[in-house]
Amino acid sequence: MRRILLSSSYLLFGLVLVLAWFSHGTGVIKNDPARNIYIPEDLTMPLQVMSAYNENTIFFRYRWPDPEPNIYHDMLVYTEGKWVRHGASVAGPRVDGIYEDRVTMLVDDGSVPEFGRYGGYLLIGDGMRFFTDQAGKEAVQSHPYLGEKKGKTDVRKYLPETRSDAADWRSVVSEDELARQRASGYFLDLWHWRAHRSNPIDMSDDQYIAEYRYGDKGKGVYHTNWDKTLKQPMWMYDEQQAGGKALSWDDLLAHKLSFDDVYYMSDVLTKPFDAKHAWKNGDTLPRRVLRKGDGSHGDISVSGKARWKDGYWDVTLQRKMDTGNPLDDKIFKDKAVYSVAIGVHRDATGSRWHYVSHPISVGLERKAMLQATRIESGQPDWRGQSWLDMTLFYPGQVNWPLLNSHKHAGAEKIAMGVPVRTRHSEAQLAQYGVEMEFNDEIVKQWWLTLFAGIFLIFSLGVAIHMLLNKEARS
Amino acid sequence: MSAYHVMAAHFPIAIWMTTFLFIVLRSFSLPGRGDKLQYAISLLLFIGVLAGLATYSLGWMVWSWEALTYSPLARNHILMASWSLAYWTLLWVLHWRLGEHLWHGMQRWTMLMLSMVGISLLSVTGTLGGSLTGNPSGLPDILASLGWDTNSTFYLPPVMIGVTIASGGVILAMAWLGQRSKA
């Protein structure tokens, strides 16, 4: 009897160990749109990049896998007498697939030295939009600088020293201080290619990040097709140019329109909106109208055609080495070294649901992780150049104040200037990013697991002792 | 404190690994020929538990409480260290209380199996410590291929916590029943 009970104890102990092995890590992490939480299926993705430059122009070529291209974005659909918006950013992918793919690149010339060590983490501050603890719209609107002066309604990427307390988004330093920081180069250039809002006219958005994410000076490459007063579009298609007055919502949902079709709206395809036209359910007009852009805002264009083919996007962007706008752009110089970090949005996701890279160095004919090749003139012939293979990762909800707090064991290393790359792989950061979104729940479950395991070990010990001790005495 | 914790950790690891070797030898030793090994195992287990306790205590002082519990890798290290210490303490208590009786008949193979669980826990604890100090070994790759990415916290779902506690209760009940039975 005792031997049977002892054997049963061993078996039960072993069975629990096996069950624990196969069930661990489940039951806590799940999507929760109400808390702005969506965990992508793939936590990392590959990206390839190469670069070249001539006396006047610098080129960056990006290539990344994507199961299908997402080239539609932000549509107005006529529904029962009203124009309804489809395409606003949501937590995770849009189920209707109406959200564009993007590639973004942050650039620094050494004026923001922490960026070369920590990349985009540096820009993720307190109250970031689409975080679970994002700053409220009313709080931002009532902020004397961001809300009342700049008209902002959310908190976006910002550099830590644009705040007197980097852990408090409200503590923006004085405008004089901000101006002096900008003049010294304390900002990051942002190249922002969008598959819908810039690519159809072979352009890229040109932005920068200082105390907020701004567009460069001048006209951007799109404007909004919405009359707030009349609650209707301002523009519709010119039939002569576009072949019809509107797109078909069914065609968009079925992804029937491709690169050679009219799936976007640009200034040359439009005429003023006619509210008296007999619009029918499903008629669709893009909410964004593309235009060439001008000034510093229109500095970056697509070289050749950026296209998705056979499961890969292939995008080449070009810009003047010296745009003449040193307050908006990082000026490239022959034989200099820069830091860049690259991000990709795919699978119909927006806002923070992107993949990002560690920062890399780019050398213009200088030793660096990515060496830009000098060419004599014209467009680069990429043959003979090799790709730099990178791994991008989903960053989750990890911000700069947290990384520099006592909650992060590596805060001391950051203070010492140890680069993130030397301590954390991309796959590790992706896992950490996901766990941060459920930190309280996971810590609770982890404690329970720890104590349940000790109880099980204790129970087995008591059982062996009692059963064998009795047997030894009998 | 990290340096002292790392230095101290060598002692329980070395002692418990030696103990494991002796348990293997004891398991295969002929009847009546393992008395000295038996004595050595009991002594090593006792010293190992003392060294383990000291290392475990130092480990809690390496980082702040919040830093320790915010890092998935540190959480895993703490979990495995806690289980390792508890488990090797269990082995020591059993040897202390039951001695030679643990090696009678088929029981010796059970002891061998139990010590293999202990050495597995110890190996994982040690390798996670190596990862935390920036010196990862190949073991995390093996664990990942078996289904556990050590960059993610090892925790059980609520149902499994219930199953674990209930199983512990059932094991205790069986012990109580066995002690009361005459057979």
Q: Where does residue A185 fall: left (phi above 0), alpha (psi -120 to 50 degrees), or beta otherwise? A: left
Instruction: Tell me what pLDDT residue A366 has.
Output: 97
Is the pLDDT at B101 greater than 80? The verdict is yes
Same domain? B109 vs B28: yes
pLDDT tens by residue, A239-249: 999 999 999 99
Mean pLDDT score of chain B, rounded to an integer?
Answer: 91
In angstroms, the separation between the Cα of residue A137 and the nearest Cα of chain B is 29
Percent of chain A with pLDDT strictly greater than 90: 94
Q: State the pLDDT confidence band at A473, using cuts at 50, 70 and 90.
A: low
Is the pLDDT at A428 greater than 90? The verdict is yes
Same domain? B67 vs B141: yes
Which residues neighbour B92 within 8 Å (Cβ) at sequence distance 6 or greater?
B42, B45, B46, B48, B49
Q: State the pLDDT confidence band at A123, using cuts at 50, 70 and 90.
A: very high
In angstroms, what CA-CA distances link A55 with A105, A190, A297, A383, B69?
Answer: 22, 22, 22, 20, 53
CA distance A159 to A211: 6
Same domain? B144 vs B173: no
Same domain? B58 vs B88: yes
Q: State the pLDDT confidence band at A468, using cuts at 50, 70 and 90.
A: confident
Chain B residues whose CB is inside 8 A of the A431 CB are 72, 149, 151-152
Tokens of A414: 């950051």
DSSP string, A118-144: HGGGGG--TT-TTSTTPPPHHHHHTST
Instruction: Tell me what pLDDT residue A474 has.
Output: 61
Strand pairing partners for A335?
none
Instruction: Tell me what pLDDT residue A384 has.
Output: 85
Is the pLDDT at B24 greater than 70? The verdict is yes
Which residues neighbour A256 within 8 Å (Cβ) at sequence distance 6 or greater?
none
Taking CB atoms and an 8 Å limit, are A464 and B94 in contact across chains? Answer: yes
Query: What is the residue type of A120?
Result: G
Strand pairing partners for A44?
A393
Same domain? B109 vs B70: yes
Instruction: Tell me what pLDDT residue B103 has.
Output: 83
Strand pairing partners for A232?
A227
Instruction: Look at residues A303, A336, A299 and name the one whose alpha carbon lies nearest to residue A320.
Output: A299
Q: State the pLDDT confidence band at A401, using cuts at 50, 70 and 90.
A: very high
CA distance A45 to A101: 14
Is the pLDDT at A471 greater than 70? The verdict is no
SS3 (DSSP) at B133: coil
Of B146, B171, B179, nearest to A13 by CB-CB distance is: B171
Q: Do the Cβ atoms of A245 and A236 come closer than 8 Å?
A: yes
Is the pLDDT at A94 greater than 70? The verdict is yes
ipTM above 0.90 for this complex: yes
Taking CB atoms and an 8 Å limit, are A20 and B160 in contact across chains? Answer: yes
**Taking chain A, what is the end-to-end CA distance rounded to the nearest angstrom?**
13
Q: How many CB atoms lie within 10 A of CB A54?
A: 18
Tokens of A328: 């908006």
Taking CB atoms and an 8 Å limit, are A459 and B156 in contact across chains? Answer: no
DSSP string, A167-236: T-TT-B--HHHHHHHHHTT-SEEEEEEETTTTGGGTB-EEEEESSSEEEPSS--SEEE--BTTTTB-SEE
Q: Do the Cβ atoms of A285 and A235 come closer than 8 Å?
A: yes
Instruction: Look at residues B27, B85, B31, B76 and name the one whose alpha carbon lies nearest to residue B53.
Output: B85
In angstroms, the separation between the Cα of residue B11 and the nearest Cα of chain A is 22
SS3 (DSSP) at A265: strand
Query: What is the residue type of A10?
Result: Y
Taking CB atoms and an 8 Å limit, are A9 and B175 in contact across chains? Answer: yes
The mean pLDDT of A64-86, rounded to a whole number, is 96
CA distance B97 to B93: 6
Residues within 8 A of B (CB atoms), A 391-410 only: 406-409
The mean pLDDT of A66-82, rounded to a whole number, is 96
Is the pLDDT at A422 greater than 80? The verdict is yes
CA distance A100 to A351: 11
Is the pLDDT at A465 greater than 80? The verdict is yes
Q: Where does residue A203 fall: left (phi above 0), alpha (psi -120 to 50 degrees), or beta otherwise? A: beta
Q: Do the Cβ atoms of B179 and A467 come closer than 8 Å?
A: yes
Average the pLDDT over each of A320-329, A331-340, A378-387, B75-84 and give the range with the smallest value: A378-387
Instruction: Tell me what pLDDT residue A219 has.
Output: 95
The mean pLDDT of B27-43, rounded to a whole number, is 82
Average the pLDDT over each of A52-56, A237-241, B47-51, B134-138 and give the range with the smallest value: B134-138
Same domain? B87 vs B16: yes
Q: How many CB atoms lie within 10 A of CB B14?
A: 13
Instruction: Tell me what pLDDT residue A472 has.
Output: 63
Same domain? B143 vs B111: yes
**What number of residues does chain A have?**
474
- Identify the H or E element spanning A253: helix A249-253
Same domain? B91 vs B130: yes
pTM, two decimal places: 0.92
Q: Do the Cβ atoms of A309 and A258 come closer than 8 Å?
A: no
Of A5, A408, A449, nearest to B178 by CB-CB distance is: A5
pLDDT tens by residue, A337-372: 999 999 999 999 999 999 999 999 999 999 999 999
Query: For chain B, what is the domain count?
Result: 2
Taking CB atoms and an 8 Å limit, are A409 and B71 in contact across chains? Answer: yes
Chain B residues whose CB is inside 8 A of the A26 CB are 157
Strand pairing partners for A317?
A60, A302
Q: Do the Cβ atoms of A112 and A188 come closer than 8 Å?
A: yes
Residue A119 sits at the vertex; the CA angle it makes with A71 and B74, to the nearest 5 degrees, is 110
Q: State the pLDDT confidence band at A149, using cuts at 50, 70 and 90.
A: very high
pLDDT tens by residue, A259-296: 999 999 999 999 999 999 999 999 999 999 999 899 99
CA distance A247 to A122: 42
Average the pLDDT over each of A93-102, A218-227, B20-29, B156-165 and give the range with the smallest value: B20-29
CA distance B32 to B103: 10
Is the pLDDT at A470 greater than 80? The verdict is no
| A172 against B179, higher pLDDT | A172
Mean pLDDT score of chain A, rounded to an integer?
Answer: 95
In angstroms, the separation between the Cα of residue B10 and the nearest Cα of chain A is 23
Same domain? B148 vs B159: no
The mean pLDDT of A113-121, rounded to a whole number, is 97
Same domain? B107 vs B176: no
- Residue B162: domain span: 155-183
The mean pLDDT of A192-196, rounded to a whole number, is 98
Query: Dmax over Cα atoms in chain A, in whole Å?
Result: 103
Instruction: Tell me what pLDDT residue A156 has.
Output: 96
Same domain? B32 vs B112: yes
pLDDT tens by residue, A319-328: 999 999 999 9
Query: What is the residue type of B172?
Result: L
Mutate to test the interface with B, among A16, A414, A429, A440 (most CBs of B within 10 A): A16
Q: Do the Cβ atoms of A339 and A82 come closer than 8 Å?
A: no
CA distance A441 to A436: 10
Residue A106 CA to chain centroid, in angstroms? Answer: 12
The mean pLDDT of B56-71, rounded to a whole number, is 93
Interchain contact A11–B (C-beta under 8 A): no
Interchain contact B183–A (C-beta under 8 A): yes
Same domain? B60 vs B93: yes
Instruction: Tell me what pLDDT residue B34 has.
Output: 73
Which residues neighbour A190 within 8 Å (Cβ) at sequence distance 6 or greater?
A104, A105, A106, A107, A206, A207, A208, A209, A213
Q: Do the Cβ atoms of A293 and A266 come closer than 8 Å?
A: no
| Phi, psi torsion values for B7, nearest 5 degrees | -65, -45
Question: What torsion, rounded to 10 degrees, do the Cα atoms B59, B60, B61, B66 define?
Answer: 130
